[in-house]
Amino acid sequence: MSDPTQGGTGRWLKRITKSMSGEPRDLAALIEDLRDASERGFFDGDALVMLEGVLSVADMQVRDIMVPRSQIVFVERDDPPDRLVAHVVESGHSRFPVIGEDRDQILGILLAKDLLRLQMAPDEPFEIREFMRAVVFVPESKRLNVLLKEFRRSHNHIAIVVDEYGGVSGLVTIEDVIEQIIGEIDDEHDVEDDQSIRKEGGREYSVRALTPISDFNRYFGTDFSDEEYDTISGLLMHQFGRLPRRGETTRIGKLEFRIVRADRRRIDMLRVITPEDFALPADGGAPPR
């Protein structure tokens, strides 16, 4: 059997080991050693983020990253086709839990792509039961590293999270787990890298949490103070009195703020919802850069 320490990866690990002051006392000490190794040039910042992510996943539970029940977009078993399509278009999601009598009765998972046949053959009868995929249930306490292994083995990409009484408490996807390792995965619904605010349609706006309060005020015509906090993230953390979880909402003035993406360290993305009588200033609408 070949000696794993003789390959490129082995030499890289030996260099890191030698750079450490001693055997790490705990996980926090190990992470500090890895950060020190990164500063010395053993690997770049992106690799450090992934290493920290791998270590944190083993220490996190499903409840830490799940989409809470209140923010899940469900479809009903008896929904007509036009309503199903409307759910897909409005939400932008690709997978939907199908419910029966109530939200604790999850019958299966519907994929948005299965609705394409409604456009190809609108006159054919559509029976949702023929397209529902099997649903996977996981407890809130399941470790993320275990869940990732199960996702890979079963080829499922979504699971319904249940509490100790069997009630539905949230939803988690394989993307949610992977993002804990490699960082946020942007898609076509995310704000562009050079934009801080983007109108999503109607009265909803996607806003990066690190948007300066001054830029936010300029765009929305608000007058939030930037004396204590520089960014919208800081303002919201003060409003909640803690680091909020994904799916939580709060209202400041006339605006409703919904946490779209967040982890145990920071807020990343928000959804701002304006009231019907809310008007942007005359120079609003141009996203801050």
pLDDT band at 2 (very low <50, low <70, confident <90, very high): very low
Q: For residues 194-203, give the mean pLDDT.
A: 80
pLDDT, position 181:
77
How confident is the model at residue 194, as a pLDDT?
Answer: 56
Model pLDDT, residue 4:
44
Q: What are phi and psi of 106, to 5 degrees?
A: -90, 120
b vs e for 46-64, b when ≥16 Cβ sit within 10 Å of the residue's Cβ?
eebeebbbebbbeebbbbb
What's the average model confidence in pLDDT over 70-89? Answer: 85
Q: What is the pLDDT of residues 88-112, one digit of tens each?
A: 877 778 899 999 989 999 999 999 8
Question: What pLDDT sits at residue 235?
Answer: 92
Could you tell me the residue ranges of all domains in the chain? 4-43, 64-182, 197-273
Across the beta sheet with 106-111, the strand order is 75-76, 95-99, 106-111
Tell whether the model's pLDDT for residue 18 goes beyond 50.
yes
CB of 274 closer than 8 Å to CB of 205: yes
Class of the CATH-defined domain 64-182: alpha beta
CATH T-level assignment (fold) for domain 197-273: 3.30.465
- Return d(Cα 119, Cα 114) in angstroms, integer: 10
pTM here?
Answer: 0.60
